[in-house]
Amino acid sequence: MSKHFRLQSKMSRALFLLLIYVVGYSWSSSVPLQSVNDWGGRFQGSFMIPIKEQTDGWEVVVTFSEPVTGFSQWKGDVIKTSPDNRIYTLVNKQHLSIQNPGNILEIQVQGEYKGTQAPQGHAVFKNLGFGHDHQTLPPFVQSTGTKYDYDEIIMKSILFYEAQRSGKLPAHNRIPWRFDSALNDHGNNGEDLTGGWYDAGDHVKFGFPMSASTTMLEWGLLQYKDAYVNSGELEHMYDCIRWPLEWLLKCHTAPHELYVQVGDGSKDHSYWGRPENMTMERPAFKITESNPGSDIAAEYAAAMAAGYMVFKDKDPAFAAKLLTHSKQLYEFALMFKAKYSDSVNAASAYYRSNAYEDEMTWGAAWLYWATNDTKYLTEAEKWYPLGEVPAWGQSWDDKNAGNMVPINFWLSDHGVLLYKLTRKDKYKQDIEATFTSWFPGASGTIPYSPKGLAFRSQWANMAFMALLAADEGIHTTEYRTWAKSQLHYALGDSGRSYVVGFGTNPPQRPHHRASSCPMVPAPCASFEMQQKGPNPHVLYGALVGGPGKNDDYTDSRSNYINNEVACDYNAGFQSAITGAGTKYDYDDVLMKSILFYEAQRSGKLPANNRITWRADSALKDRGDNGEDLTGGWYDAGDHVKFGFPMAATTTLLTWGLLQYKDAYLHSGQLEFMYECIRWPLEWLLKCHTAPEELYVQVGDGGQDHGFWGRPEDMTMARPAFKITSSKPGSDVAAEYAAAMAAGYLAFKDKDQAFATKLLTHAKQIYAFALKYKGLYSTNDLTWGAAWLYRATRESQYLTKAEKWYLQGEVPAWGQSWDDKNAGNMIMLYNLTGNQKYRQDIETTFNDWMPGGSIPYSPKGMAFRLQWGALRYACNVLFVANMAFMALLAADEGIHSTEYRKWAKSQIHYALGDGGRSYVVGFGNNPPQRPHHRSSSCPMMPSPCGWSSMSNPGPNPHILYGALVGGPDGSDTYKDARDNYISNEVACDYNSGFQSAVAG
């Protein structure tokens, strides 16, 4: 051997070793060539590759130290050879794709060489199966504060739609196992029909379910845009729905010509593989004047009209194009009426249409919403009576449930006279009839699984319909609770998740071709459908078909009934998720607000006291004749017990419990809430010492405010003050009566004896208020009488309520312990339906909404009063929507969307949208130094005095749940204990706030 040859050989081997190091470091596993048989110029050897993890598809890169020709082996197919014949890349043969952990994959190779001895070799093994596609999820931070992370679900559902894309993928494609596909999709005359979504686990593009899915997703975006903003998914959502809209536009090739399908279902379903590898013929099918399809044309029109509303401010040119095509398509649907599946036989085996009338209503309703052109409203109502009531469901082929909901919304929102005079009740009744049929109970017709799944068709769409109906004021709490129960079943309440890549034990083997294939370049065919392991790629966000009627489910790829995925499955589901969530954890707020009231307790504390820094206090509170006046709540950061705000607080809290009991139930706070309101009610009863004698205060404000310390350490005199026939107070007496009447309603089924006692005292106290009027406000007399009428249904109380209401103030200044006008309007409208009260409500909220007389801070807080600004914002918020205005909006339909949106804006300001939380112990940068004596004191027995007030540090005890007075009109706020205007807390601050959060 020449010196030059030996040097070259050494360099070659060094380079080879370097390649081994680099390649071995980059790939999964590297093994040397062994058991070599050298026959001089020809060799044979084996690579013994240990399988360390489940493998579905693999690649091996073989590198030799010298060129090898005539290379052969039997385990894979060579897909690449280096120019110098030293590196061979092979992928598994189809029948050898599955390799189980613990196995040894032996690849025996042969070849020829020109050197003096057989070459050395190394093989680098790469798993192309599960977990090796290098897909990374975008970062996200949960903003919903819900049992399940709705933000994560929204993000992953959008990723599912990205995995369904056909055509040339965008540069920012986030699905690493998907590439350009079906680039030859064309119409009969060469029209470009690339793009759109593959329908399900197959690769046909069915226009009907694709357009229906698009409409449902757009509706969710229009209705719940804030959910996308808060989850950080808004721009991805715009991209998501633009993808199918672009394809729908391509399909409309002439005014009366519309492509509705690309791909033959039979040929497609006989192929199992990647869309990128398809070679079969993909015919296109269309409707025309001679082969019409009103149903699908109207659905395309609906999707485009909804798309117009989504994009009209974001991309006016694109939106205008959508609206133009939408109008043309609806005219086409009107002129040539037929079911599309009667014209397109290729679709009838897969998506056969039952009728076209519901789509005629659907398309017209969306066009009316988009254009406000009454001709579309006329068409919508013309076709609507032909619909089915109760609705069978909401799906790509059945729009009756959806038609009921949007018409109710559109007609009430636009104030169309015909609907107002003749049709309002009909649509509402149809919605109610539908959900009565769907809900559990004697009147329901839908079977339920043992674990609570309503068993019919696509499970999530009716949850979305229920949320929309709730937004329009129809049985808000009941419908939202049911919708969430169905969504939560799918997310995990049933014991497992049915959403791929989310939650506990999610599906791993969805019936979906592309995700079942290993990474390119491994082959993919029917063997992949049959393999038992997980799909190599996680199809994030896909909702599978779901369990059977007995909650039975098998996670099997061959189970195309229960484990199929589809674009239309996810559409209603994703939209429902956006409507079910909240930005802040309301359950946490409810729990902590109740703890605040426990921290305010006076008297002998119960054995289950949860406030470790509180003990028995004010045990000597007595009336003039020694009556026991212990108990009740301290008013604010001081230790006086003021009966008027305490009673008013109790009424509002009880109203919230009556209206939103489910919120307390589902948050696990119901029993705590009963204890919460019983505490002041017991004290109010103690205060009523004779039919015409009522204690209304314990403690002297002057002396009390001169003391900074614990209530347990008080030594000053605590006089009691009362009203009598000679010193009357109709206002406070009527408020006590209201609180007790409301308490009766809360406890009548839980503690009948206590409830009866409350009602007896309420009647006596209201009679006292009427008999001796002294200094009083008429709105309190209305308030007390309205509550007594609600409790007793005795007409005398309704007569009195309406009599005194006439002297009320409109618009209402606000709702507080001293002003009940807003609450009176809502109560009386709820009890009577009289339009006068509705008009007064509207006048009041026209005054309160932006553009009215109420100023707003730069960050959006309605600013009524410097002292306790958030007190008034939140109490009127309670009235406006999240409590009683929610009642009216929910049950009576008064500007539902507008009032609810405003209400949330005010509550969310307090919870964090103002840049910080104003609730102690909750959220971002909450107050740490509330003006509150007891929580500012160190643990006993350490002394507490004015030095504790002036201590610059945080209060030693967190006064969980307390809402502080809040910032000024410029959003300026200082967290200082001596700032008794902005940093005071009070029982009545929290009452409307808590009830609004519950709503």
Enumerate the active-site residues: 511, 555, 564, 975, 984
Q: Rounded to an integer, what is the distance from CA 731 to the centroid of its chain?
A: 43
Phi/psi at 108 (5° precision): -90, 130
Question: Looking at this protein, which amino acid is placed at residue 293?
Answer: G
**518 DSSP assignment:** P
CA–CA dist 148, 891 (Å, integer) = 28
Q: Which residue has the tokens 């004290």?
A: 683
Question: Looking at this protein, which amino acid is placed at residue 721?
Answer: F
149: CB partners within 8 A, 6+ apart: 142
Q: Rounded to an integer, what is the distance from CA 572 to the centroid of its chain?
A: 12
Nearest Cα to 997, choosing from 863, 906, 926?
A: 906
Nearest Cα to 781, choosing from 769, 792, 794, 793?
A: 769
DSSP string over 558-622 = T-TTTSB--HHHHHHHHHHHHHH--SS-HHHHHHHHHHHHHHTB-BSPPTT---TT---B-TT-B
CA–CA dist 242, 304 (Å, integer) = 10
SS3 label, residue 721: strand
CA–CA dist 599, 619 (Å, integer) = 16
Q: What is the dihedral of CA 403, 404, 406, 410, to 10 degrees?
A: 120
- Cβ–Cβ under 8 Å, residues 528 and 145: no
First to last CA, the chain: 91
- Cβ–Cβ under 8 Å, residues 604 and 993: no
Percentage helix, strand, coil for the chain under 3-state DSSP, each rounded to 5: 45, 10, 40
Question: Where do runs of H (alpha helix) occur along 312-343?
Answer: 316-335, 340-343
CA–CA dist 367, 362 (Å, integer) = 9
Number of CB atoms found within 10 A of residue 468's CB: 28
SS3 label, residue 780: helix
Rounded to whole angstroms, what are the CA distances from 103 to 46, 51, 90, 535?
A: 15, 5, 19, 20
